[in-house]
Amino acid sequence: MSGKRKRKLKLLSDTITDNRRSVDEMKSEHLELQSWADLPAELLELILSRLILADNIRASAVCKRWHSVASDVRVVSQSPWLMYFPKFGDCYEFYDPVQRKTYTLELPELNGSRVCYTKDGWLLLYRPRTHRVFFFNPFTRELIKLPRFEMTYQIVAFSCAPTSPDCVLFTVKHVSPTVVAISTCYPGATEWTTINHPNRLPFVSSIWNKLVFCNGLFYCLSLTGWLGVFDPVECIWSVLAVPPPKCPENFFAKNWWKGKFMTEHGGDILVIYTCCSENPIIFKLDQTLMKWEEMRTLDGVTLFASFLSSHSRTDLIGVMRNNVYFSKVRFYGKRCISFSLDDYRYYPRKQCHDWGEQDPFENIWIEPPKDFSACM
């Protein structure tokens, strides 16, 4: 092979080597220049979908691309809706406090009944004329009948959705100053079971008492602030030796008993006391020290308070966190009365908060389905 041809082959080999080196160097430089913002879409979605709401919102501030992906995979808890019970007719309104919109459903199945409690999207209702007790889901129109039971001046609650095998109903009323009658039932039962239990005097049964199911127990806040507890498995009733929450004297003015609410969150029992002339006070039961502690913050939790049942939520939109939403709507259905623990004030301002003016059976908070468009 001539020297000229050898020189050409060597030159070609060197050129190929240089080209490969350039490509490798460019790839290396490109990798060095890449940032977290350049992650593949599938990987970015996977990462952001596993973040809690607060971290998802922080991640969305990185760049436009991350904001778009974070918004797509963001899971925000759904707020309860306020369901209104008409005095006449079958037209029921549902107020969404997030969208500030009102929806309407015709529910002739509820004619002649009054609401008793809500949980997991189900209503518990009672027909006084026939003593009929039944569950009803207003969004699926599913109805579950229960044995007849006469309810006088008492309240009733249930542990979970009636479609669950763990569903238990509970109600309590006074038989004498030292005895209470506790009645329980469950879907599919043929009758209610009623057993008398000894009762400590501070606890007084009333239609203004509050009920909540928490950690497998029914808690009943009495008219005077004492807390009764019922274990449906062991069938044991007791009144906790915990003095009632301490409130200023003006909290016990006219209709004071109507301004109490109780719910649970994360295994804690929360009580809200309101007064027409003061800001509300929120207490949490310290189950170790067995005393009520005043809460200055809800740590991002949102409470929804109504006479017959109240609810708690986390991961709602930012403006709703650390607030209590009450079962009153003002400005022609455009604004739900709320109290902010961040600003320590009511929204909107200068609204009347005399709960004595409101019918306790007028409305109640209920959990809507995730896809409610098909229901409306």
pLDDT for the residue 259? 82
pLDDT for the residue 359? 77
* pLDDT-based confidence at residue 313 (cuts at 50, 70, 90): very high
**Mean pLDDT computed over 301-307:** 95
pLDDT for the residue 308? 92
CATH architecture of 12-72: Up-down Bundle (1.20)
> What proportion of the chain, given as a percentage, has pLDDT over 70?
81
The residues pairing with 22 across neighbouring beta strands, listed in sequence order, are none
Q: Is the pLDDT of residue 84 over 80?
A: yes
List own/partner pairs for 222-226 with CB under 8 A and 24 or more apart: 223/257, 226/200, 226/202
Strand intervals (E) in 14-106: 81-84, 91-96, 101-106
3-state helix, strand, coil split of the chain in percent (to 5) is 20, 35, 45
What does the mean pLDDT of the chain come to?
85
Q: Residue 48: how many CA atoms within 13 Å on its side-chain side?
A: 27
Tens digit of pLDDT for each residue in 114-143? 999 999 999 999 999 999 999 999 999 999
For residue 108, how far is the Cα from the chain centroid?
Answer: 27
Quickly tell me which residue has 């249930």 as its tokens: 158
Query: Encoding tokens for residue 17?
Result: 């080597």
| Higher-confidence position of 89 and 351 | 89
Helix (H) or strand (E) holding 68: helix 64-73
Distance between CA atoms of residues 342 and 296, nearest Å: 9
| Under 8 Å between Cβ of 69 and 44 | yes
Distance between CA atoms of residues 340 and 346, nearest Å: 6
Q: Is the pLDDT of residue 329 over 90?
A: no
pLDDT for the residue 68? 80
Distance between CA atoms of residues 251 and 234, nearest Å: 37
Distance between CA atoms of residues 283 and 144, nearest Å: 36
Least confident of 57-66, 180-189, 222-231, 275-284: 57-66
In the chain, domain spans: 12-72, 112-241, 245-363
* pLDDT-based confidence at residue 100 (cuts at 50, 70, 90): confident
Of how many residues is the chain composed?
Answer: 376
| Rg, Å, the chain Cα set | 29
Least confident of 179-188, 237-246, 252-261: 252-261
The verdict on domain 112-241 having CATH code 2.130.10.10 is yes
Least confident of 90-94, 203-207, 253-257, 267-271: 253-257
**Mean pLDDT computed over 168-193:** 94
Distance between CA atoms of residues 207 and 204, nearest Å: 10
Tens digit of pLDDT for each residue in 5-59? 555 555 555 555 555 555 555 555 554 556 666 778 778 777 876 676 667 777 7
| Under 8 Å between Cβ of 260 and 210 | yes
| Higher-confidence position of 348 and 9 | 348
| Under 8 Å between Cβ of 56 and 343 | no
Tens digit of pLDDT for each residue in 148-165? 999 887 899 999 999 999
Helices then strands (H, E): number in the chain?
4, 25
Give the end-to-end CA distance of the chain in Å, rounded to a whole number. Answer: 88
Q: Residue 221: helix, strand or coil by DSSP?
A: strand
pLDDT for the residue 139? 95
Closest CA to 81 of 374, 372, 331: 372
Q: Where are the alpha helices (DSSP H) in 284-332?
A: none
Beta pairing class for 217-221 and 227-231: antiparallel
The residues pairing with 180 across neighbouring beta strands, listed in sequence order, are 174, 197
> What proportion of the chain, given as a percentage, has pLDDT over 90?
53
